[in-house]
Amino acid sequence: MSVATELRAPVKPGLEPRKILGPAGNGARVAEEPKRKKEGAVKKAEKPKRLVAQVPAGVVQGNVSVDSVRSLDSCSSGGSCGKRVDDKRRVKRNGLKSAKVVPDGGVRALLPTSVLAPVKRCDWITPNSGPRYTAFHDEEWGVPVHDDWRLFQLLILSQALAEHTWPTILNKIDAFSKLFENFDPSSIAKFTEKKILSLGANGSTLLSEPKLRAIVDNANHLLKVQQEFGSFSKYCWHFINQKPIRNGFRYARQVPAKTPKSEVISKDLMQRGFRCVGPTVIYSFMQVAGMTNDHLVTCFRYNECNNYFRKDLEPKLEERDSPANSSENTSQSHD
């Protein structure tokens, strides 16, 4: 045996290579190795999880609801897709079950865009219109009125349009009501000259003195109309055969300021002694009293005002077709 052979050190199997000094020395590096190996072993022992893209609550993407995404996740992680424990999560063949979680936006967030669109009103209602003016359009303007007190109130307010606008009148409606004794024609007809002068002094910001005198005179003539026709309502509506005129205007520029019918009513009122009742004033009165439906056909109130007339007409038709009235008409025909 040679000397070279005897001095060669045998190579041991599995001998680790010499560790390199780190910033903290071999001691620190050697201490970290077992910890890293242990953490790696734990990660290998854990079962890998399938990542599912996060879907916002209540939002359906790609025709798959949140519940269906959860069901698909359970299938991929070893669950049985054919037999699910919760039948409510089952996806139907004819459609997917909608998400149960409502987003922060509430129910409106789940509605289609067409439903969320604002309602269409007449062009004289703008985004800058006040809530009272908008409510006046949505609830009062164009609704058929048959009450004498209400008709006289609307006639006075229509006369005030010569000096004010509807928004101004609506904002001062309480002052108008106080000025004209809650629009009672019998009370206004008793106003004396002294009362009229005091109204002109106190209510100068509302109406001029000639307009106040005209309203007092109109109250007296209205009482005469009630005696002749039974009610001021019957007098007003008999000009249009007791049913409102339905104008199918599409654009605001098509709505007239006066019509031949308003000219006829204006002329008859003037012959009876009424004042400040020109064709333009009367047509504004007809519009607000629902004698004519001048809501644009694109406005949501157009059909609703027509429905008001149908509901108001039904009791009259039943009364006309009742057995008592039919027998009375038969006896009159025999006579």
168 assigned to some structural domain: yes
293 with 305: CB under 8 angstroms? yes
**In this predicted structure, what is the pLDDT of residue 167?**
95
Query: What span, in angstroms and rounded, lies between the C-alpha atoms of 61 and 27?
Result: 55
Query: What average pLDDT does range 280-287 have in this prediction?
Result: 97
pLDDT category, 206, cuts 50, 70, 90? confident
What CATH number corresponds to the domain at position 294? 1.10.340.30
Q: 51 vs 282, which has greater pLDDT?
A: 282
Which amino acids are annotated as binding site for Zn(2+), given as ranges? 122, 137, 295, 299
As a whole-number percent, the residues of the chain with pLDDT over 90 amount to: 47
203 with 212: CB under 8 angstroms? yes
pLDDT category, 112, cuts 50, 70, 90? low
DSSP label at residue 109: G
Show the tokens assigned to 263. Answer: 């000219």
Q: How many residues are given for the chain?
A: 335
Among residues 327, 298, 333, the alpha carbon closest in space to that of 122 is found at 298
pLDDT exceeds 50 at position 88: no
Q: 232 vs 197, which has greater pLDDT?
A: 232
pLDDT exceeds 70 at position 227: yes
pLDDT exceeds 90 at position 324: no
73 assigned to some structural domain: no
Query: What average pLDDT does range 165-171 have in this prediction?
Result: 95
pLDDT category, 169, cuts 50, 70, 90? very high
Number of domains comprising the chain: 1
155 assigned to some structural domain: yes
32 assigned to some structural domain: no
DSSP label at residue 92: B
User: Which residues touch 319 (CB under 8 Å, ≥6 apart)?
Assistant: 325
**In this predicted structure, what is the pLDDT of residue 208?**
86
Using CB atoms within 10 Å of the CB of residue 129, give its burial: 0 to 12 exposed, 13 to 18 middle, 19+ buried.
middle
Which amino acids are annotated as binding site, given as ranges? 122, 137, 295, 299
235 assigned to some structural domain: yes
**In this predicted structure, what is the pLDDT of residue 34?**
52
145 assigned to some structural domain: yes
pLDDT exceeds 50 at position 160: yes
User: Which residues touch 187 (CB under 8 Å, ≥6 apart)?
Assistant: 181
162 assigned to some structural domain: yes
> Side chain identity at 99, as an amino acid letter?
A
Residue pLDDT, tens place only, 127-138: 999 999 999 999
> Side chain identity at 270, as an amino acid letter?
M
Query: What average pLDDT does range 240-251 have in this prediction?
Result: 92
Query: What span, in angstroms and rounded, lies between the C-alpha atoms of 293 and 13?
Result: 105
Q: For residue 215, what are the domain limits?
A: 131-329
161 assigned to some structural domain: yes
